[in-house]
Amino acid sequence: MLSVALVLVFLSCGILAWRRRNRNKDEPPPLPGALPLIGHFHLFVGNSSQLWDSVKKLCYNTLDADGVVSFYLGPKTVYFVTDPDDCLKIASTCLEKDKFYKFTKPWLGEGLLTGDLQIWKEHRKLLNPAFKQSILDGFIDIFNKEARRLVKNLEVEVDKGPFDQFAYIQPNVLETICLTVLAVDFTDESLLNIEYINALENILKCVVERFQTPWLHSDVMFNWSSLKRRQDECLKILHNVSNTVLKKRKAEYLNNNLNNGTEDTTKGLKFRPFMDLLLELAIEKGAFSDQEIREHVDTMLFAGHDTTATSLMYMMLLVGSYPEVQQKIFEELHNVFGDDDRDVTKQDLSQLVYLEAVLKESMRFYPVAPVIIRRLDQDVKLRNCTLSKDRACFLSSYGVHRHPVWGPDAEEFKPERWLDSETLPKCPTTFSGFGMGRRICIGKTYAMMTMKIAMAHVFRRYRVSGNHLLMTTKLDVLLKPISGHHVSIEIRKNKT
């Protein structure tokens, strides 16, 4: 017993000395509450709801400490940043994702979200053209069709009281991503079924659990764990879907090219979707292996749908919580469409200014990716301190979105703040719902278009009510609701 105590004391002193020696003179202030040996790790244990409570507290502590703090995960010093200018500097200087992202590599591999820097640079350049405006404009018909499907599916909930809107939004957004980005139609098949959605939810839980269990950070230990076996079960299901997507579209692509030269006329699509760009670059230029294509498909399926669906879910809830906001949305929709139930056009999108303000405010209020992590590949000089190379740096959009630069009403849901560009904060990172710096979301314009079209259809047809103040949340990689997020809907009878 005595010898164990002596070893622990010896280790604690060693870690303390190590931390002191490795502190640079210009280090940001340390977060109080470090324990011997584990540092601040105790803040990150518990279930995903407790984890989110701790991260939220960390955001406010960092805001109080002028936007940057350091803290300890065992022997490691890491940083947490909520100042928009400092976040911008870090996100533009250091493009490498942190090692914690490697926990998702068996699933997403070198896809854009998790890819190593050199691969990312090459692939992002090749894939950017798949998200340019002219391609996205070609998706508008599908966005409208899918929005109508959502409205139709919601009919069964009319006047029935509170229900989980996410259960309707999530499959709808998945279908939309498949039809547009991946150019495959699974609407009449059950490939993207509840099994896929459960596997996705479970793999995100595995990633968080691994983060919370320091001895499983090492691959050797992880490979022996029951967590790895749970993760493998999820991977089987998730990879089955991405492989099926790849096989199906590759066959269609080869068939089309054989029949029509290089012109793609599959199902009358007027655009070249992301998936076909991947296949073209793979088949004609050897730019991607089948495995790399599969990793990009897995990335798009996850990064494209879970974020969009969760953001829409929060938006419906927030709009349902503020009748005056809902009324203004409806008045704007009525000004643009009158009583006509026609499709939303590209021109309409630019007129739906208030709807866009509500979307952005919802994403500011509940950012679905409240924290991202960068690896510092160089020392970074910030406004008031210097961060040291080779450390992890947590950049928090949740914190940034509550920074004093938003004004004294930063904690209020107020879409009007988006209507006057003169009074909006100037630093581009002040709104970081889509990430920060050069690794910003590739699908951001796609997401805004599809969300605006979906919500225009929903709010034209339904009056929504809910109360976001009753909601409890958790951090399962993304910020997700646990309870209290359900809404009720009724059909709008007339122009009121």
Which parts of this chain interact with ligand HEM (CB under 6 A)?
A: 112-113, 124, 177, 181, 299-300, 303-304, 307-308, 311, 368-369, 372, 433-435, 439, 441-443, 446-447
**Cβ-based nearer residue to ligand HEM, 37 or 126:** 126
Q: Closest separation between CB of residue 302 and ligand HEM, Å? A: 9
CB 43 within 8 A of CB 54: yes
Q: Closest separation between CB of residue 272 and ligand HEM, Å? A: 15
Handedness of CA 424, 426, 430, 431 (dihedral sign): positive
DSSP lists the bridge partners of residue 462 as: 491
> How far apart, in Å, are the Cα atoms of 474 and each of 49, 159, 272, 410?
4, 29, 38, 21
Q: Closest separation between CB of residue 373 and ligand HEM, Å? A: 7
Q: Which residues of 217-240 are buried (b: 16+ CB within 10 A; e: fewer)?
A: beeeebeeeebbeebeebbebbbe
- Cβ count near 298 (within 10 Å): 25
**Cβ-based nearer residue to ligand HEM, 37 or 427:** 427
**Cβ-based nearer residue to ligand HEM, 134 or 496:** 134
**Cβ-based nearer residue to ligand HEM, 39 or 111:** 111
**Cβ-based nearer residue to ligand HEM, 22 or 445:** 445
CB 63 within 8 A of CB 75: no
CB 116 within 8 A of CB 110: yes
The string of DSSP codes covering 366-388 is: S-SS-EEEEE-SS-EE-SS-EEP
**Cβ-based nearer residue to ligand HEM, 67 or 435:** 435
Residue nearest to ligand HEM (CB): 443
* Alpha-carbon span 398 to 433, nearest angstrom: 8
Q: Closest separation between CB of residue 93 and ligand HEM, Å? A: 14
**Cβ-based nearer residue to ligand HEM, 56 or 364:** 364
Return the SS3 of 278. Answer: helix
Q: Taking the CA of residue 21 as centre, how many other CA atoms within 13 Å lie in the half-sphere pointing to its CB?
A: 7
Q: Closest separation between CB of residue 38 and ligand HEM, Å? A: 26
Q: Closest separation between CB of residue 416 and ligand HEM, Å? A: 21
**Cβ-based nearer residue to ligand HEM, 362 or 488:** 362
Structure tokens at 169: 């939004």
Q: Closest separation between CB of residue 213 and ligand HEM, Å? A: 22
Handedness of CA 304, 112, 293, 126 (dihedral sign): positive
* Alpha-carbon span 246 to 223, nearest angstrom: 28
**Cβ-based nearer residue to ligand HEM, 413 or 446:** 446
**Cβ-based nearer residue to ligand HEM, 170 or 299:** 299
Q: Closest separation between CB of residue 128 and ligand HEM, Å? A: 9
CB 348 within 8 A of CB 144: no
Q: Closest separation between CB of residue 118 and ligand HEM, Å? A: 13
**Cβ-based nearer residue to ligand HEM, 205 or 364:** 364
Structure tokens at 457: 């259809």
DSSP lists the bridge partners of residue 476 as: 478
Q: Closest separation between CB of residue 442 and ligand HEM, Å? A: 5
Identity of the residue numbered 429: T
Q: Closest separation between CB of residue 233 and ligand HEM, Å? A: 25
* Alpha-carbon span 371 to 359, nearest angstrom: 19
**Cβ-based nearer residue to ligand HEM, 41 or 100:** 100
Q: Closest separation between CB of residue 44 and ligand HEM, Å? A: 18
- Cβ count near 105 (within 10 Å): 14
In eight-state DSSP terms, residue 32 is S
- Cβ count near 89 (within 10 Å): 20
Identity of the residue numbered 201: E
Burial zone of 118 (CB within 10 Å; 0-12 exposed, 13-18 middle, 19+ buried): exposed
